[in-house]
Structures are given as structure tokens and as C-alpha cells.
Amino acid sequence: MKESMRISLIVAAAEDDAIGRDNALLWHLPNDMKHFKNTTWGMPVVMGSRTFASMGSKPLPGRFNIILTRRPPAEAPEGVWYADSAEAALRLAAGTQCREVFIAGGGDVYGQFMAMADRVYLTRVHARFPDATVHFRGFDTAAWLLASEMHFPHDDKNPFDHVFQTWQRG
């Protein structure tokens, strides 16, 4: 499975690795939302049930939505598949014939896929959120190679400086 399909984490994390609080994002960065959409378009996207619920339990358009949960509902909304393990999610993603699957959170889900990941698309938000309840843990840059980065200063629509980084397994 892994030989034919790249496993990529896609995450926006603050300098203190904060990614969320109370099942919501900590910031509104339209630039990052556009980057996420453009990067994942047409691909399978795996997320946990709480992340899916935080989006109103509506599938991301233009993508194969795979929800990781131990308790799938009896009926899935159109465009949504359920998996009860990381391995099952990867089997569903492999069935799409796509070359890359994106892991889109939350914190526990990133942890399940970290050791398997080939690539990390990281938006580093230049801010700190000490009251965050969800973090992007276990990403040790010493085990990865920085393949690319693009810096963006804050502006009228994006309140924080941020950088898009692509990391490859070293």
C-alpha cells in the first residue's frame, strides 16, 4: 500500500505546536485555507470524527473524505467513508487510485499516522496559544528534510505571519 501511495500530514500549527481549542481552529487565515484546498483537491483526506464534526459534519468538496472513528453511523453522508483504524483508512484511500493521501487531524489522528508519514505540509503560524487544548505532537524536524518554504507576512485578511513548509522524511 505505502509503496504506491504517499502518506502526507497537512497541518497548521502555532510556534508552540497549538492547533485547536474546544474543537475549533485558533485562527482564521484565508491564505492557509486556500493552500489546504489547493493541496488536497481531488485527493483522499483522512480526519478524525471530532475534526469532521467541527466542520459541521459536511464533507470537503472535491475530495474523498475518510473519517476515522470507532463508532461509524449507520448511514454515511454522500462523499464520506468511515474507517475504524488507520490501516482501514489507508485501504480506502488506496482504492481511490490517488498517489497521495492527506491526514488532516486532529491531534490524535496525526499521532496515529506520524510514523507512517512520508511528507508533512506544515503551515507554521507565528503566534503562541497557551490556552490551546490540541497540539501537533511528535514532529521532530531532525528526522525530516525541509524541501520548500514560502513566507507570508500578516495582512488585512491574515492576522499572523506564517510560512508554508514541506518536509520530506529524511
Q: Where are the domains of the chain?
A: 6-169
Residue 6, number of CB atoms within 10 A of its CB = 17
Within 13 Å of residue 92, how many CA atoms lie on the same side as its CB? Answer: 23
Out of 3.40.50.800, 3.40.430.10, 3.40.1670.10, 3.40.50.1100, the CATH code matching 6-169 is: 3.40.430.10
pTM attached to this predicted model: 0.95
Question: pLDDT confidence of 2, banded at 50, 70, 90?
Answer: very low
What confidence tens digit (pLDDT) does each residue in 70-105 have?
998 888 888 899 999 999 999 999 999 999 999 999
Using the predicted structure, report yes or no on whether residue 147 has a pLDDT greater than 70: yes
- In terms of pLDDT, which residue wins out, 170 or 56? 56
**Max Cα separation, the chain?**
46
Q: Length of the chain, please?
A: 170
Average pLDDT of the chain, as a whole number: 95
Distance CA 69, CA 48 (A): 6
The rounded radius of gyration (Å) of the Cα atoms in the chain is 15
* 47/66 Cα distance (integer angstroms): 6
User: What pLDDT score does 168 carry?
Assistant: 98
Instruction: Identify the pLDDT of residue 32.
Output: 98
pLDDT exceeds cutoff 90 at 4: no
Nearest Cα residue to 120 out of 57, 48, 169, 53: 169
Cα–Cα dist 82/163, whole Å: 32
| 3, pLDDT greater than 60 | no
What's the pLDDT score for residue 1? 43
> What does the pLDDT look like over 39-76, one tens digit per residue?
999 999 999 999 999 999 999 999 999 999 999 888 88
